[in-house]
Amino acid sequence: MLSEIWNYNLEFYHNVFANYNFHFVVSETSSVCGVRIFVKNTSVVHVLDHLQMLATGDSMIKNLWLEIDTGNRNYIVAGIYSHPNQNNDSLIIYWTTVFL
């Protein structure tokens, strides 16, 4: 997984790692802010949009949730990017209300 990805040359990453597919989300308002996850192309991947954490007025967050089926195991993997110079109170509240 890579975070704080740039919005430039995204197509280049299709060819970086042989036998891997990549899934990504990027910011609509910034050239730097996003998450990319590389997954072996023999795995079945489902994007879990219903788990998306939404950005609020005071937090810029990008996140990608995948269910990965390797054939003998299933995994849920999340890549989360939160800008380091922002108030993360809303992110903490989200985590405590949804996951605890």
Structural domains counted in the chain:
1
pTM over 0.85: no
Give yes or no for a contact between 26 and 34, defined as CB atoms under 8 angstroms apart.
yes
pLDDT at position 60 over 70: yes
Query: Three-class SS of residue 13?
Result: helix
Q: Which two tokens stand for residue 41?
A: 């192309």
Q: How large is the average pLDDT for residues 59-85?
A: 88
Write the burial class of residue 100 (CB in 10 Å: 0-12 exposed, 13-18 middle, 19+ buried): exposed
With CA atoms as reference, report the closest residue to 61 among 95, 18, 12: 95
Please tell me which residue, 95 or 5, carries the higher pLDDT value: 95
Query: Is the predicted pLDDT of residue 19 greater than 80, yes or no?
Result: yes
Residue range(s) defining the domain that contains residue 39 = 2-99
